[in-house]
Structure 1
């Protein structure tokens, strides 16, 4: 396969992807990734169907949902006594690799 860019030559497989590949090769139980063998509770599926029709249908800002960051700031202040700005001092990521 032709190399697209020398900048990407140092990219590696994610740990989760690597562990999933190894678990599949070894026919092992994969604890690195969620592969449930059961359906979610009906209440969750019903709520999912409800919000799927009401939206909004767009990506969240990179720092995380505003309401969630506000709640984190409020809880942090409650337990630490320190007020932090959810707009400039909190970032919510999608897992540890982000």
Structure 2
């Protein structure tokens, strides 16, 4: 997949499909930047912006962006738990409440 297609898939998933599905699925977030944070943090295994300069869609290595897109697709398919991915992300950021 070329980079333009990958970026288009990223934006379609995080700006359109996931926000539109959020309420019906009871997801803990609903805004595009929240989905982007969750997916990128989990793809990197850390707070993404400590590893990748912003903007991530432009600066993330292909493999990281592909991993983030795959996680988003899996959440849409129901094979990944978005609430768990969000907890992971918050944990990477030191924002998990006990």
TM bin, normalised by shorter chain, reads under 0.3
Structure showing the higher helix proportion among its residues: 2
Output the TM-score relative to the length of structure 2: 0.27
Output the TM-score relative to the length of structure 1: 0.27
By relative contact order (CA 8 Å, sep 6+), the higher-ranking structure is: 2
